Amino acid sequence: MVSNAGFTEQVPLREITEDHYDRTFDLMAKGPLFLTQKMLPLMDSGGSIILVSSAMHYMGLANHSAYAGAKAALRSFVRTWAAEFKDNGIRANLLSPGPFPTAIMEAQANNSEELDALHSHYANFVPMLRLGRVEEAASAAVFLASDESSFMTGSDVVVDGGISNV
């Protein structure tokens, strides 16, 4: 089971509203928790839970309190579930991507010129000097879903070009 949902709105702490907080946590923390709960009956003989977070939960990026907090909650979930599911063969892991050209990034630009500038801006912060390719995140998810990661649970696979490490 893979849970991958998100949006980003850069909001300074002084301007966060309950509506913003609720929308953010409902989609990015509450949703994955209850999705996983509803999927558990289908995993009675084992399975792999993959929650997609963000490298942002490692970073202190201004104006991202609610986003980073919701994504950090996912980290806590997989650690807790790794302990909770230890006797039934279910593994729970996190995938934390860095900047990728996705719909979330596209929503931050008003036109293709702004989007190109945004891509360049984010790429300059990545030690590898580029955005990730969607196939790179997908390969990490396939790995976590496969038996190749059968000795992993409660882990966080960070696919971010090093941005959260420097």
- Give residue-wise pLDDT tens across range 49-89: 999 999 999 998 999 999 999 999 999 999 999 999 999 99
Query: Which pTM value belongs to this model?
Result: 0.94
**Strand-by-strand arrangement of the 2-3 sheet:** 2-3, 47-52, 90-97, 156-159
**Cβ(49)–Cβ(78) under 8 Å?**
yes
User: Which residue bears the tokens 């907090």?
Assistant: 69
67 is known as an active-site residue: yes
Single out the catalytic residue among 21, 58, 67, 122.
67
Q: What is the DSSP string of 46-80?
A: -EEEEEE--GGGGS--TTBHHHHHHHHHHHHHHHH
When the candidates are 3.40.50.150, 3.40.50.720, 3.40.50.2300, 3.60.150.10, the CATH number that belongs to 2-6+13-159 is: 3.40.50.720
Q: What is the DSSP string of 133-154?
A: PHHHHHHHHHHHHSGGGTT--S
Output the average pLDDT for the chain.
96
